[in-house]
């Protein structure tokens, strides 16, 4: 079974608008972390935002916010005021295991390609 | 700001040849990882490395793969006899201790096996 599901293969959004990228996850571990990474066409993986399973509040980082709905096992990324430079592939990833000895591998979804248009 | 670096950025090799991909993790990080991304596909975990030994590896990481931290800074991935299907982007990542710590990725090495 897929651990991370991103159902939107691609999205178009107009500049200055907000966009929501969906991510659902599957785990029975009570301790986990959810990450979003951005991959522009140049190929590097850029960390955007992190949400821990025990965090009471939704994470925010500048124009990025995470809509964390634990009961639904979803962790959607919201990008506000889209810019042309936001055009990229966006990956949701999960790390399971809550101890400091957890090796911490990330499991990735298939990604969502976002194209921001003028 | 500290960053993970990788060399080379691109490598072309013939099938059956050995390749070594190099990474310099962030200096105070303790956990190191290799991932790969076949073109157009998702990022896949290969191996994690901690305290000078492999801590976890995926099914992809078979006997053709090995990792090493030969000194205090470099972290290498060796593919002994490359296959066509090894063509991919290979990412190195590192993080410090603590469950909440983020993994920071290097820029990747694009490997093409002919």
Measured over the CA atoms of residue A70, residue A19, residue A10 and residue A96, the dihedral's sign is negative
Structure tokens at B64: 């053709």
CB B47 within 8 A of CB A105: no
A22 interfacial to chain B (CB closer than 8 Å): no
φ/ψ of B12, rounded to 5, equals -115, 130
CB-side neighbour CA atoms (13 Å) of A80: 8
The 10s digit of each residue's pLDDT in B15-61 is 999 999 999 999 889 899 999 999 988 999 999 998 889 999 999 99
Measured over the CA atoms of residue A99, residue A3, residue A24 and residue B85, the dihedral's sign is positive
For residue B8, whether the previous peptide bond is cis, meaning omega lies within 30 degrees of 0, is yes
Three-state secondary-structure class, residue A85: helix
pLDDT at position B5: 96
pLDDT at residue B66 greater than cutoff 70: yes
CB B10 within 8 A of CB B109: yes
Q: Burial-class residue A100 by CB neighbours within 10 Å (0-12, 13-18, 19+).
A: exposed
Residues B112 and B86: their CA atoms lie apart, in Å, by: 8
pLDDT at position B9: 95
CB A18 within 8 A of CB A78: yes
pLDDT at position A38: 97
Query: Residue B13: pLDDT band by 50, 70, 90 thresholds?
Result: very high
DSSP assigned state of B43: E
Q: Flag if B107 and A108 touch (Cβ within 8 Å).
A: no
Picking from B56, B102, B108, the nearest residue to A103 by CB comes out as: B56
Contacts of A92 in chain B (CB under 8 A): none
Structure tokens at B109: 């090495």
pLDDT at position A97: 76
Three-state secondary-structure class, residue A8: coil
pLDDT at position B40: 85
Per-residue pLDDT of chain A (118 residues; tens, 9 = 90+): 679 999 999 999 999 999 999 999 999 888 899 999 999 999 999 999 999 999 989 999 999 999 999 999 999 999 999 999 999 999 999 998 755 455 689 999 999 999 999 9
Picking from B97, B100, B105, the nearest residue to A52 by CB comes out as: B100
b (16+ CB within 10 A) / e for B77-112: bebeebeeebbbbbbbbbbeeebebbbbbbbbbbbe
Q: Concatenated DSSP letters for B19-35?
A: EEEEEE--TT--EEEEE
- Please give the residue of chain A at the shortest CA–CA distance from B10: A43
């Amino acid at each position: 079974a897929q651990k991370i599901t991103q159902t939107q293969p691609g999205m178009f959004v107009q500049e200055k608008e907000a966009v929501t990228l969906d991510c659902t996850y599957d785990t029975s571990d009570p301790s986990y972390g959810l990450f979003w990474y951005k991959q522009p066409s140049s190929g590097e993986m850029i960390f955007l935002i992190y949400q821990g399973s025990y965090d009471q509040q939704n994470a925010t980082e500048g124009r990025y916010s995470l809509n964390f709905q634990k009961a639904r096992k979803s962790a959607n990324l919201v990008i506000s005021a889209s810019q042309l430079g936001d055009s990229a592939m966006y990956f949701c990833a999960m790390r399971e295991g809550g101890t400091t000895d957890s090796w911490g591998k990330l499991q990735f979804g298939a990604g969502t390609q976002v194209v921001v248009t003028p | 700001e500290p960053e993970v670096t990788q060399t080379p950025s691109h490598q072309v090799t013939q099938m059956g040849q050995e390749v070594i991909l190099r990474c310099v993790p962030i200096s105070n990080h303790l956990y190191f990882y290799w991932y790969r991304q076949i073109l157009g596909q998702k990022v896949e975990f290969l191996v994690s490395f901690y305290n000078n030994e492999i801590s976890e590896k995926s099914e992809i990481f078979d006997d053709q793969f090995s990792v090493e931290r030969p000194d205090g800074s470099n972290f290498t991935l060796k593919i002994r006899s490359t296959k066509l299907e090894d063509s991919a982007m290979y990412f190195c990542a590192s993080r410090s201790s603590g469950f909440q710590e983020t993994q920071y990725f290097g820029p990747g090495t694009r490997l093409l096996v002919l």
